[in-house]
Amino acid sequence: MNMTLEELFDNVPENFARMEFPNHLATDSRDVEKGGAFVALEGEKTDGHNYIPQAVSNGAGLVIVRKGKNPGGLSVPVIELENPERDLASIASRKLKAHDLKDIIGITGSVGKTTTRAALQKVLSPRFNVHAPERSFNTLIGCTATIMAMPKETEILILEFGANKPGEISELTEYFPPSIAILTAVAPVHLEGFGTVEGVLNEKMRITNSANLRKIIFNNDNEYLSEAFKYYVNSMGVGEHKDSDFVISHDTSEYTLPAMSFVLAYRITQEIARFTVNIWGKHNAVPLSLASAVAHELDIPLQESAESLRDFEALTGRGRVIILDEGRKFVVDDAYNANPASMRASLETFARVKCAGKVAVLGEMRELGTNAAMYHAELAPLLEGIDTVILVGEIWREALKGDYVYAEDWRKALEVLKGIDGWQGLLVKGSNSIGLSNIIREIAE
């Protein structure tokens, strides 16, 4: 059975919420769930149409292809679309309009989106039926997949909005307009696409064009966002600055593993709660507080959020602390991604940890454009208190000269690491494409 998008809509009932469409979409044939849909997308390096047989073999119950690229002879239905990514987004958008949601929460920013999303899901779930992406599904097709998997009883939908070039946040906002927007930070990320940090700011601010927007929650410690929202009447700032609506206070200068502690106060009413959470780094107080501020907007007291987050666990690659050798060693798994802001924050936390034998494996920060070497060089002072620094990638070699160990890839870095005796603390951080997560897996095993 082959169908176009128009024929698909012609064959569904008026109540789009009852549309019989697979509730799982996958763009990777390895991620297909039995009975779900496989969407064949054409990328820069590979073409999903080449993996249709594998998707069907893995259990796909529906295959969606670009018009004219139907391989034929399949045992499952095929839908041909002019533009699969945008046509499916239109389907998801219509599903949203047919679903009576209390709120759609959109999260964007250069860093901290996924941690904020996970914390928000944690604090809202005791009160509401919450649906959120399983992973960092922050693209158009990723948000579409999240919405197609949304149960009928969902009251609050959480989406991550990512972008690496102009226009992407506007597109996501148009298809899936949030009623509450969270802006985590603006930093020098994806500069190959945006050119400047101001370009990043302009793109992230597009989320405020949502037709349904009623509230903005933002990181008031970020200089770009604090200036941008100075005169927004429907916004609330979160941060250490005393003019924030929700003020973060840290009561210790020394970081004690594995927990991070801070106090959050709502300045208007002086409501206060202490948060103690098993997560790496003082900087993570911001995403946890952003989540708590949104919960407060939905009538959840700060203390209730603090209780909900007490057993919150950092996600893989995002500040997860692994304790080894019965507490004699620890590994910080911060290997999912890296940019100047997140790298600086993680290194500052590492500096505050008191232990003998500190080792850092730092992968280069990619997609920083022509000033990449400068952003790497600026981190040099933060490396001074670390016993052994292993730098992975050519940008580091260009940016820093000194008593460092240089490695061309994660395998070489792992080889060097295995030859180091007596370390107690290990920090692993770098851009995801470098593969430093392999080091975490090897060391943890």
7 or 391, greater pLDDT: 391
- Mean pLDDT, the chain, rounded, equals 90
Of the pLDDT bands very low, low, confident and very high (cuts 50, 70, 90), residue 282 is: confident
Q: Are residues 162 and 56 in the same domain?
A: no
Distance CA 40, CA 60 (A): 12
260 or 30, greater pLDDT: 30
Average pLDDT over residues 57-81: 92
Name the pairing type of β-strands 130-131 and 215-219.
unpaired
Q: Does the pLDDT of residue 2 top 60, yes or no?
A: no
Average pLDDT over residues 370-374: 92
Of the pLDDT bands very low, low, confident and very high (cuts 50, 70, 90), residue 253 is: low
Q: Are residues 270 and 229 in the same domain?
A: yes
Q: Is residue 93 one of the residues assigned to a domain?
A: no
Average pLDDT over residues 217-229: 96
CATH number of domain containing 387: 3.90.190.20
Q: Are residues 233 and 342 in the same domain?
A: no
Q: Are residues 42 and 67 in the same domain?
A: yes
Q: Are residues 130 and 41 in the same domain?
A: no
Across 278-282, 391-395, 410-414, least confident range: 278-282
Q: 444: closest CA among 428, 433, 432?
A: 428
Q: Is residue 94 one of the residues assigned to a domain?
A: no
Of the pLDDT bands very low, low, confident and very high (cuts 50, 70, 90), residue 8 is: low
Q: Which domain holds residue 404?
A: 320-444
Across 10-24, 43-57, 163-177, 312-326, least confident range: 10-24
CATH number of domain containing 299: 3.40.1190.10
Domain count, the chain: 3
Q: Are residues 187 and 280 in the same domain?
A: yes
Percent of the chain's residues with pLDDT above 90: 72
- Residue 135: what pLDDT? 80
